[in-house]
Amino acid sequence: MSPADPPRYVVQADSIDTVTVHQPHRTWPLLLLALVLFAAVGGIWGWQTLQAPSVPLTASISYTPAVGWVVPFRDDSPLPYVAQPSNGIPGRAASLSITVHGLTDEAVVLEGIRLETVARRAPTPGAFLWSGRLCPCDVVPIRMFAADLDGLDPTLKFFAGENNEADFPYKVTRSAPEKIVVNVATYSDEFEWRLHLTWSSGTKQGSLVIDDNGRPFRLTAMEGSKIFCPDPKLNDMSKRTQWVRTTKETCDLNS
């Protein structure tokens, strides 16, 4: 050994039984891989959770009067004929058609529907514009309900109809909607009202409020209103340009 060589140590013993050499620890790559996999799975689960709608259903509606509109009080001069007056309130009776769709392929159970009376007051006086039934006649209602708003506690009553349809519950998905038609009527007052459709899906449950774009639906009795009929001089409804005052109880649209 030259003087430039590093010092070495020699241990002398009578015998050596076993020599164990420990390699450096290599567990950290496995831990890193586990963390990456956990983050990936958690990210996918979180993305799916964010994509899932909190309310897994939606409803489209059509609210139409059964016989006509009441517009604020005015004189007896004729009014321009329009299909739906901008300031009109459905008079005496109306029909609300609701089509309920699921937003996913998972079934949503419609548990029931409840009517809420938001306000009740004396009927709005004005001109009652007799229009006849405006709802599309080519749509066959599936689930029919009705409510007399004049009662002390208005509730919806189910009508099985000619096809003996079933009452709640119903199921909807993205591809299997349900149509619900609610008919309401009043002969004494003006009402503001909305519906609450209860649902459940798996462990979720809730209530979908059905109203007129955030406002209650309105319906008023005809008492205090003057009746206006489509101009009887023109038999063709498409050519009628005005409503005219009448003293009749109803309007004969074929006269």
For 96, the 3-state DSSP assignment is: strand
Per DSSP, 238 falls in state G
**What is the rounded distance in angstroms from the CA atom of residue 97 to the CA atom of residue 154?**
19
pLDDT at 240: 63
252's torsion region: left (phi>0), alpha (psi -120 to 50) or beta? beta
Q: What is the pLDDT of residues 115-168, one digit of tens each?
A: 999 999 999 888 888 876 433 333 334 688 999 999 888 889 998 766 677 889
User: In this structure, is residue 38 part of a structural domain?
Assistant: no
The number of beta carbons lying within 10 Å of the beta carbon of residue 146 is: 15
Residues 6+ apart with CB under 8 A from 192: 117, 118, 119, 120, 216, 217, 218
pLDDT at 55: 80
User: In this structure, is residue 236 part of a structural domain?
Assistant: yes
Q: Does position 174 have pLDDT exceeding 50, yes or no?
A: yes
Domain that holds residue 184: 57-245
Q: What is the pLDDT of residues 72-105, one digit of tens each?
A: 877 888 888 887 888 899 998 999 999 999 988 8
pTM above 0.75, yes or no: no
Among 255, 239, 254, 251, which Cα is nearest to 69's?
251
pLDDT at 206: 93
Q: What is the pLDDT of residues 41-83, one digit of tens each?
A: 555 444 444 445 588 899 999 999 988 899 987 788 888 888 7
In sequence order, which ranges of the chain are alpha helices (DSSP H)?
A: 28-51
Q: What is the pLDDT of residues 2-32, one digit of tens each?
A: 555 555 544 444 554 554 444 555 565 666 6
Among 207, 190, 175, which Cα is nearest to 103's?
175
User: In this structure, is residue 111 part of a structural domain?
Assistant: yes
User: In this structure, is residue 11 part of a structural domain?
Assistant: no
Percent of the chain, pLDDT > 90? 33
pLDDT at 199: 94
Per DSSP, 43 falls in state H
User: In this structure, is residue 158 part of a structural domain?
Assistant: yes
User: In this structure, is residue 50 part of a structural domain?
Assistant: no
User: In this structure, is residue 200 part of a structural domain?
Assistant: yes
What total number of domains does the chain contain?
1
User: In this structure, is residue 130 part of a structural domain?
Assistant: yes
Residues 6+ apart with CB under 8 A from 178: 99, 100, 110, 142, 143, 170, 171, 172
